[in-house]
Structure 1
Amino acid sequence: MLKKFMNQVAATAPAGETIDTVLGASTHVKGVLTFEGSVRIDGKFDGEISAGGTLVIGEGSIVNANVRVARVVVAGQVHGDIAATESLEVQPTGRIYGDIQTPELQLSRGVTLEGKCVINRKPDGSLAVNIGEPQSPRAQASGRDGNTLRVAQNVG
Structure 2
Amino acid sequence: MAIWKDPVPAGKASEPARFDLASPEPAAAEPAHATMAPAPIRAVEPQARESVIAADLQIEGKIEGAGHVRIAGKFKGDIKVQGNLTIDQGAKVSGGVSANKVALAGELDGNITSAQQVDILPSGAINGDLKAGSLTVAAGSRIRGHVECGWGKDEKPAKPEGGSAA
TM-score range, shorter chain: 0.5 to 0.7
Which of 38, 44, 50 pairs up with 1:20? 50
Q: How does 1:2-151 map to 2 (within 5 A)?
A: 20-122=50-152
The TM-score normalised by the length of structure 1 is 0.65
CA distance in 2, matches of 1:65, 1:53: 17
Within 1, Cα distance between the matches of 2:106 and 2:116?
20
| CA positional deviation for 1:18 | 7.7
Alpha-carbon shift at residue 19 of structure 1 (Å): 6.1
Letter of the 1:30 partner, please give it. E
Moved over 4 A (4+): none
**Paired amino acid for 2:113:** A
- For 1:19 and 1:75, the matched residues in 2 are separated by 20
User: Counterpart amino acid of 2:85?
Assistant: L
**Structure 2 CA distance for aligned equivalents of residues 87 and 49 of structure 1:** 16
User: CA RMSD of the aligned region, Å?
Assistant: 1.9
> In the TM superposition, what whole-angstrom CA distance separates every residue of 1:56-111 from its partner, at most 9, and x where no partner exists?
00000010011111110000000000123310000000000000000110111100
Q: Deviations over 1:95-136 (max 9, x none)?
A: 00000000110111100000000114248x8xxxxxxxxxxx
Answer whether contact 1:49 1:68 (CA < 8 A) is retained: yes
Task: Work out whether residues 71 and 84 of structure 1, in 8 Å CA contact, stay in contact via their aligned partners in 2.
Answer: no
- Answer yes or no: is the 8 Å Cα contact 1:25–1:43 preserved in 2: yes
Q: Is the 8 A contact 2:102 2:115 kept in 1?
A: no
> How does the TM-score come out when normalised to structure 2?
0.61
Structure 2 segments unaligned to the other structure (5+ residues) = 1-46, 156-166
Partner of 2:12 in structure 1?
none
| Percent of paired sites with the same residue | 29
Q: Distance in 2 between matches of 1:18 and 1:111?
A: 29
Q: Would the aligned equivalents of 2:79 and 2:98 in 1 still touch at CA under 8 Å?
A: yes
Counterpart CA distance in 2 for 1:102 and 1:77 is 18
Q: How many residues align?
A: 108
Structure with the largest fraction of strand: 1
- The unaligned stretches of length 5 or more in structure 1 are 1-16, 126-156
